[in-house]
Structure 1
Amino acid sequence: MTVQGGRPLLIMGAGAWGTALAVVIARSGYQVYLWGRDPTQLAALASDRENARYLPGIEFPSTLVPLVTLDALPKSIYAAVLATPLQSTRVTVRQALEHGLRSFICLAKGIELDTQLLVHEIIAEEAGREAPVALVSGPNFAREVAEGRPAALTVATRDDALGNAVVRYLHGPSLRPYRTDDLNGVAVAGAVKNVMAIAAGIADGLTLGANSRAALITRALNEMTRFGVALGGKAETFMGLAGLGDLVLTCTDDQSRNRRFGLALGRGVDPRTAVQDIGLVEGIPTAAAVIARAASVKIEMPICAQVASTLRGECTPEQAVAALMRRELPRAASG
């Protein structure tokens, strides 16, 4: 099987999701190089042939090569797959550019806190607006993908050559990609769902019940759709894998770090203690960034706003719920 003459991929970020996709793509026979910021971790990946920290028990295919340094990178790499946290995307893009890479496949979800830019906007600012960019998103947990369980995802790009290549890299017995050109919609959905997962976790941590969870997810979908359309996204994107699919998954399953963080807050755990226990929670910086970007296009984000207020210590989880319930009803209320 060949893509673009069989050219290899570089995956930048050796966490769970970057490693999972590296494994799946390598299983299809493609050469994949996996790099991360911790040389000690990469040396362990090379010797152990598994990522014992994030995906223990998932054996690396022979075509997956961990790299301790990018100086050993071959010149034939087709594209950089950005699998580092969203707030590190700018630095990662610069590192890719320094090594001659000009096409980007991005796995990160969120909005940059300092600039309120979506992920493809960050890449365009660093690499130029003509740089080919694809976003990969959808309702997927890394371990299930790495284990070969059936899954589907969205590939968003306006570059046909890159889009066709990404679909071929990803498509296999257990993974089905779907194309769209809606970069804005996919980026917004991926960012906002992390904040909504914190809200869903808070609701369940407060034991508000199944009715509350269903209502929250439904209104969260409305909120993220309005925001996404205001930024140029397509409403139908939010009813697909990158929107509703990812939202439901992240809001209802405890594999989600954002949901687990919300659960901890709802149960009265201090936010700093919760982060120490859980690790990276992308929804924390994203909450403030979403509110700022939404204000710039005059879109109200009441659920995100209450999450942000809770994270800033301005209200308790109980007070946040009460504030949402007290909001004035619109004249033409819709569910």
Structure 2
Amino acid sequence: MSSTITVIGAGSWGTALANLLAENGEEVKLYARDKAVVDSINKQQRNFKYFPEHRLNNNLTAFNNLESALVEAELVVISVPTQALTSVLKQIQSLINSDVIIVSTAKGIEEESFKTNSQMIKEAGFKNVVVLSGPTHAEEVMEQLPTAIVSAAKNKEAAERVQDLFMSNYFRVYTNPDVRGVELGGALKNVIAVASGICDGLNFGDNTRAALITRGLNEMSRFVNYHGAKNLTLVGLSGMGDLVVTCTSMHSRNRRFGIEIGKGKTLSEAKEEVNQVVEGVKTARAIYNWLDSEKIDLEMPITKQVYQVLFKGKDPYQAVEELMLRSKKHEMESVVDNSLWNI
């Protein structure tokens, strides 16, 4: 028996997830603000903005009215940028039951409050929140290329419900109870991806990218550990998996944005070139401001240099040089014991 599912947000990822659910036999309602997108989907079964070459499944219907889209919704997928979430939550609070499972797909941190998406959703009164995160480019999901992702929730039943709904022969879903680790890893990897793009824009090589990804993972681990999450989560799909794909693929808007910065474009010029939301920009500023305002002595050199380049006009070459010339240290500070050395 099919479920009635509403997906809020008809961008590339929202459309890909909505189509996946429809392919799985669910009745899917996709909400879009843009009436032209709604008409395109309902009349031609295509999202002309993001996937004009792909015909969407007939089980998918688009809506321009949020109230109509949420009628009889058994599960709601929110696929909007982090900074737009508060507005969406205000609109849907009175339209759906607080027991309905809310699936969060954005990867970011709210700038003003420094809250994750699941925190904001729970504070809006929704009890069952599941975070869907991992190395998942929408373009490849639309092509039905093999993909794996994580369904993270404290409630095991909710995590497994989402797992069952999204699982297919090309979309494998794993569960994880470490919601904090999954979300923070997914947010911070976007900052590292911007740095990766900057290095590519500067015409650095594979050695540079490999070092950046590895040290970036170390920085992510330090960050999630400070917040009480599990370091082990970061060796999984929502950590290392997402970091690798975001730092290396041209599907990655964060990396593409970074490339433009490395080529000498300004912040606004690079944003215009990508023409999509680049979560890593606001996440870098959110983390930098949080560290500064809370006077937290947490070593995050890559994030701090990205912030300086994006918001303080720092020359990218200088930023890389300062990263390379930092004081000497062990590779793994937490595991080094003087008894291991031959002294």
The bucket for the TM-score relative to the shorter chain is over 0.9
Unaligned runs of 5+ in 1: none
**Matches for 1:49-128 after TM superposition, within 5 Å:** 49-73=45-69, 75-102=71-98, 103-127=101-125
SS of the counterpart of 1:269?
A: coil
Aligned to 1:21: 17
Asked if the contact 1:93–1:127 (Cα under 8 Å) also holds between the matched residues in 2, the reply is no
Question: Cα deviations across residues 64-92 of structure 1 (Å, max 9, x unaligned)?
Answer: 11012123235421121010011111111
Task: Write the distance in 2 (CA, Å) between the matches of 1:99 and 1:141.
Answer: 31
Asked if the contact 1:185–1:237 (Cα under 8 Å) also holds between the matched residues in 2, the reply is yes
Asked if the contact 1:203–1:263 (Cα under 8 Å) also holds between the matched residues in 2, the reply is yes
Aligned to 1:316: 315
Name which of 307, 331, 334 aligns with 2:332.
Answer: 334
Asked if the contact 2:31–2:69 (Cα under 8 Å) also holds between the matched residues in 1, the reply is no
The alpha carbon displacement at 1:294 in A equals 4.6
Task: Write the distance in 1 (CA, Å) between the matches of 2:118 and 2:279.
Answer: 17
Task: Write the distance in 1 (CA, Å) between the matches of 2:198 and 2:291.
Answer: 22
Task: Write the distance in 2 (CA, Å) between the matches of 1:155 and 1:227.
Answer: 21
Matched, 1:237 2:233: yes
Matched to 1:306, the amino acid is: Q
CA RMSD of aligned residues (A): 1.5
Shifted more, 90-99 versus 138-147: the winner is 90-99
**Matches for 1:166-315 after TM superposition, within 5 Å:** 166-279=162-275, 280-294=277-291, 296=294, 298-315=297-314
Aligned to 1:154: 150
SS of the counterpart of 1:81?
A: strand
Task: Tell me the TM-score normalised to structure 2 length.
Answer: 0.92
Asked if the contact 1:80–1:96 (Cα under 8 Å) also holds between the matched residues in 2, the reply is no
Matched to 1:47, the amino acid is: K
Task: Write the distance in 2 (CA, Å) between the matches of 1:317 and 1:149.
Answer: 35
Question: Cα deviations across residues 24-82 of structure 1 (Å, max 9, x unaligned)?
Answer: 11001100100022233222221121112111222111111101212323542112101
Taking structure 1 as reference, are residues 334 and 79 closer, same or farther at Cα in structure 2, changes over 3 Å only?
same
Matched to 1:308, the amino acid is: Y
The alpha carbon displacement at 1:7 in A equals 2.7
Matched to 1:292, the amino acid is: N
Asked if the contact 1:39–1:69 (Cα under 8 Å) also holds between the matched residues in 2, the reply is no
- Aligned positions, number: 328
Asked if the contact 2:135–2:241 (Cα under 8 Å) also holds between the matched residues in 1, the reply is yes
Name which of 126, 131, 137 aligns with 1:135.
Answer: 131
Matched to 1:313, the amino acid is: K
Question: Cα deviations across residues 242-264 of structure 1 (Å, max 9, x unaligned)?
Answer: 00000000000111111011111
The alpha carbon displacement at 1:216 in A equals 0.5
Unaligned runs of 5+ in 2: 334-343
Q: Percent identity?
A: 36
SS of the counterpart of 1:37?
A: coil
The alpha carbon displacement at 1:126 in A equals 1.8
Aligned to 2:4: 8
Shifted more, 236-245 versus 295-304: the winner is 295-304
Question: Cα deviations across residues 253-281 of structure 1 (Å, max 9, x unaligned)?
Answer: 11111101111111112221111111221
Question: Cα deviations across residues 98-138 of structure 1 (Å, max 9, x unaligned)?
Answer: 3114331011000001111111111122225xx11000011
Task: Write the distance in 2 (CA, Å) between the matches of 1:117 and 1:226.
Answer: 18
Asked if the contact 2:156–2:177 (Cα under 8 Å) also holds between the matched residues in 1, the reply is no
Shifted more, 101-110 versus 289-298: the winner is 289-298
Task: Write the distance in 2 (CA, Å) between the matches of 1:71 and 1:122.
Answer: 21
Matched to 2:39, the amino acid is: A
Task: Tell me the TM-score normalised to structure 1 length.
Answer: 0.94
Asked if the contact 1:9–1:77 (Cα under 8 Å) also holds between the matched residues in 2, the reply is yes
Shifted more, 307-316 versus 18-27: the winner is 307-316
Task: Write the distance in 2 (CA, Å) between the matches of 1:210 and 1:185.
Answer: 28
Task: Write the distance in 2 (CA, Å) between the matches of 1:48 and 1:232.
Answer: 48
Asked if the contact 1:260–1:278 (Cα under 8 Å) also holds between the matched residues in 2, the reply is yes
Asked if the contact 1:134–1:156 (Cα under 8 Å) also holds between the matched residues in 2, the reply is yes
Task: Write the distance in 2 (CA, Å) between the matches of 1:252 and 1:73.
Answer: 36
Task: Write the distance in 2 (CA, Å) between the matches of 1:317 and 1:74.
Answer: 46
Asked if the contact 1:205–1:265 (Cα under 8 Å) also holds between the matched residues in 2, the reply is yes
Matched, 1:48 2:47: no
